[in-house]
Amino acid sequence: MSRALPRLALTALLCLNAAKATTLQAFTLEDLATQASMIIEGTVLETRARWVGRLIVTDITVAVDHCYKGECEVQAVELRVLGGTVGDLVMSAHGVAQFSPDETVLLFLEPIGALAPGYLQPTGQAQGKFRLVRDAQGPVLRRDPRVARLAGPDIEAAHALDLLPLDEVLARLERVLAID
């Protein structure tokens, strides 16, 4: 048996324990909207986990149903997040959004940059991803439960986004971004 595998497992375990202490600056809806280069409502079509060097990443394809900011002529976007499952090996990172096929989402996105040209990621890690679930009044935002511990003066405003009606969120976005 290779000595690299036990070392890799130990490294992953240490990283996961350190990641549990992740604290992020709390983003309000206005923060997310202004920092994101693209805001879309869409449906997750596919997720694909794979190795990139020594890390597992998951590539996600999301069909764009509505675009509120950014390159709105695209029909789909490609995201990449840290973590995933390849074979029997699971790698997870605290605070990083996870996606499921057929999930309807509202996403605040930004480019990853030189590490993964052409790919986007949620702004503020999992803070930039909301599932859209239906209630009696229509779709409401549901915060990704993997959001890391939040800090800063806007904690209450960030947590208040959970269960907000989509119509109210879009009206606020229109005010912030002057969306047509």
For 86-123, write each residue's pLDDT tens digit. Answer: 999 999 888 899 999 999 999 999 999 887 888 999 99
Q: What is the pTM assigned to this prediction?
A: 0.83
Q: Vertex 95, ends 179 and 66: CA angle to 5°?
A: 25
CB atoms within 10 A of CB 106: 24
Greatest Cα pair distance, the chain, in angstroms, is 61
**How many domains, in total, are found in the chain?**
1
CA separation for the pair 15, 95 (Å, rounded): 13
pLDDT in tens, 121-176: 999 989 999 999 998 888 999 987 667 788 888 888 888 888 899 999 999 999 99
pLDDT score for 72: 87
Range of the domain at 54: 4-177
